[in-house]
Structure 1
Amino acid sequence: MEPVSRKQITKTYFFKMALVPSNHTNSSSLYFSLMGIPGLEASHVWMGILFCSMYIIALLGNSMILLTVRLDQTLHEPMYYFLCMLAVIDLVMATSIVPKMLGIFWLNSVEIAFDACFTQMFFVHSATAAESGVLLAMAFDRYVAICYPLRYQAILTHQKVTQIGLAILLRAALVMTPVTWMMKHLPYCSSNVIAHSYCEHMAVVKLACADPRASSQYCVVGSTLIVGTDTAFISVSYGMILRAVLRLAKKEARLKAIGTCGAHLCVMLLYYVPGMASIYTQSFGQGVAHQTQVLLADLYLTLPPMLNPVIYSMRTKQKRVFKLFGQRKSLAEPSV
Structure 2
Amino acid sequence: MKRIQVPLLAVDGGGTKCLAAMVATDRRILGTGRAGSCNYQGIGTTAAARELTNAIRTAMATTAAEGTPSTEEADASPSTEGRVWEVECAVFGMAGLDTEYDRQVIVEMVKEVLAQLKIHVHHLIVENDGFAALLGATDGDAGILVIAGTGSIAYGINGQGITARAGGWGHRVGDEGSGYWIGKQMITAVLKAADGRGEPTRLTDRLLRYLGLSQVEELYNWTYGPSYSVEKVGELSPLVSQTAAEGDVVAARILTLAAEELAQAARAVIQQLSMHEQPFKMILQGGVLQNDQQVRRLVVENVRHFTPQVVVDTAKHDPISGVIAKGISYLNKREKAESDRGVEK
> Which range, TM-score by smaller chain?
under 0.3
What TM-score does the superposition give when structure 2 sets the normalisation length? 0.24
Which structure features the higher share of strand residues? Answer: 2
Which structure features the higher share of helix residues? Answer: 1
Higher relative contact order (CA 8 A, sep 6+): 1
